[in-house]
Amino acid sequence: MEQLLIFFLRFRNLLLYLFLLTLSLVYAFHSSKSLSNRLTQLSLAEIAPIHHSLNAIYGYFGLKRINDSLQSEIRVLKQRQFNELATRSVAKTDLSDTEKNRYLLHSANIIYATRNAEVNFFIIDKGENDGIKPEMGVIHHDGVVGIIRDVSSNFSRAISILHQQVGISIRNQQTDDVGIMKWTRTTPTKMEISDFQKSKTVSINDTIETSGISTYFPKSIPLGRISKIDSVSNPIYFQLEVELFEDPFSQRLIYVIEDLQKNEIDSLLSSVK
């Protein structure tokens, strides 16, 4: 105890300096958007390995809830489910192998995520060496998480659905009406839909799911339920609030969706003038 006291007395000025420096950096980070943006734009090669190491420590102490074998089983089941749903929506019967197996899922783990900013992102422990590419959708067991944006050899960074500029193509399971769902910028589980016309029928507790009208996410992934209907604010459209079934970042285990027909679809879309 005496030695510890001597240490603090000897280095009290240095310790005080480090303490004040830390407080200053924390304050500057939270008060300056430009500084915050620069810090969060550090390359994957610099920050991802640090979070990957921390994630490995957490897993070692028993915080990893699902082991690798169970991850693989869930991945296979989900992949089969998505492909069966996609096959049913195709009119012809003589399907090619790509049409029968349109979606390929890659399991991964979230090793870092932000959730309190206006534009949130997360990092996963799989990258280009594992078949991950930009513009792939990311889901977890009970919903949608985000879209891959940047990829390094062993890690990937994705924008979260908790992001001002991200809109998810959705459908009302009860009425088959389609629209766009966006984050309300309040809590991680509250989203909004503002393009359902009042001529449509909507009800509290209607189920909202992915529409399949994109190359990011397959059809019929359950997302949440309509929790509030505002028919006054806009003369043409309902303002709908959706409560997600689960917090997008309540689980570390995620699945990256590879759409094997994406290049063909994107090629056709790029040719439209």
The string of pLDDT tens digits covering residues 191-245 is: 999 999 999 899 999 999 999 998 899 999 999 999 999 999 999 999 999 999 9
Shared-domain flag, residues 48 and 119: yes
Shared-domain flag, residues 8 and 99: no
Report the pLDDT value the prediction gives residue 1, as an integer from 0 to 100.
Answer: 52
122, pLDDT greater than 90: yes
Report the pLDDT value the prediction gives residue 94, as an integer from 0 to 100.
Answer: 57
Shared-domain flag, residues 152 and 176: no
Shared-domain flag, residues 240 and 254: no
SS3 25: helix
DSSP states of 47-81: HHHHHHHHHHHHHHTT---S-HHHHHHHHHHHHHH
Q: Do strands 207-210 and 137-140 pair parallel, antiparallel, or not at all (unpaired)? A: unpaired
Mean pLDDT score across all residues of the chain: 82
- Element (DSSP H or E) covering residue 241: strand 237-244
Using one digit for the tens of pLDDT, what is the confidence trace for 43-76? Answer: 566 666 666 666 666 565 554 555 566 777 788 8
The CA distance from 137 to 159, in Å, is 10
254, pLDDT greater than 60: yes
Shared-domain flag, residues 76 and 160: yes
Residue found under tokens 């089969």: 80
Going by pLDDT thresholds of 50, 70 and 90, the confidence category of residue 93 is: low
Report yes or no on 38 lying in a domain: no
Report yes or no on 39 lying in a domain: no
User: Which one is predicted more confidently, 140 or 269?
Assistant: 140
| Residue 47 CA: distances (Å) to CA of 88, 106, 112, 258, 272 | 43, 22, 9, 25, 39
Report yes or no on 255 lying in a domain: yes
Shared-domain flag, residues 51 and 123: yes
Report the pLDDT value the prediction gives residue 86, as an integer from 0 to 100.
Answer: 81
Q: Outline where 110-195 has alpha helix (H).
A: none
pTM: 0.73
Shared-domain flag, residues 81 and 55: yes
Domain count, the chain: 3
The CA distance from 111 to 55, in Å, is 6
User: Which one is predicted more confidently, 130 or 25?
Assistant: 130
Report yes or no on 36 lying in a domain: no
Report the pLDDT value the prediction gives residue 33, as an integer from 0 to 100.
Answer: 52
User: Which one is predicted more confidently, 126 or 76?
Assistant: 126
Ranges of beta strands (E only) in the chain are 103-113, 119-124, 137-140, 143-151, 156-163, 168-172, 178-183, 190-197, 207-210, 222-230, 237-244, 253-259
Domain holding 189: CATH number?
2.40.10.350
Shared-domain flag, residues 154 and 254: yes
- Report the chain's terminal Cα–Cα distance, integer Å: 77
User: Which one is predicted more confidently, 216 or 38?
Assistant: 216
What mean pLDDT do residues 38-42 have?
53
Report the pLDDT value the prediction gives residue 118, as an integer from 0 to 100.
Answer: 85
**108 pairs with which residues across the strands?**
254
Domain holding 19, by residue range, is 2-31
Q: In sequence order, which residues have a C-beta less than 8 Å from that of residue 127 and are 6 or more positions away?
A: 44, 151, 152, 153, 154, 155, 156
5, pLDDT greater than 60: no
